[in-house]
Amino acid sequence: MLKGAEVTKEIIEKAAQAAKAQANPRSSAVRGSREYRLDVLPVLVRRALETAVAQARNNCK
């Protein structure tokens, strides 16, 4: 999905939602419920991709 794609907020959002759709986490008393983990996953994917893009842009300067 991301390979060769222009990086936009829309493509990052699609990637975040795709990760959530494909995830199958289990509940854990230590690491959180299945529902919590599914809710937080897109947030983490967005943050990771935005950070990676920012770092890549800074390295190209």
- Predicted confidence (pLDDT) at residue 1 exceeds the cutoff of 80: yes
pLDDT of 22 reads 97
Nearest to 40 by CA among 9, 19, 14, 11: 19
pLDDT of 61 reads 73
Give the pLDDT confidence of 21-58 residue by residue, as tens digits. Answer: 999 999 999 989 999 999 999 999 999 999 999 999 99
d(CA 42, CA 15): 8
pLDDT of 14 reads 97
Whether the CB-CB separation of 12 and 35 falls below 8 Å is answered with: no
61 or 35, higher pLDDT: 35
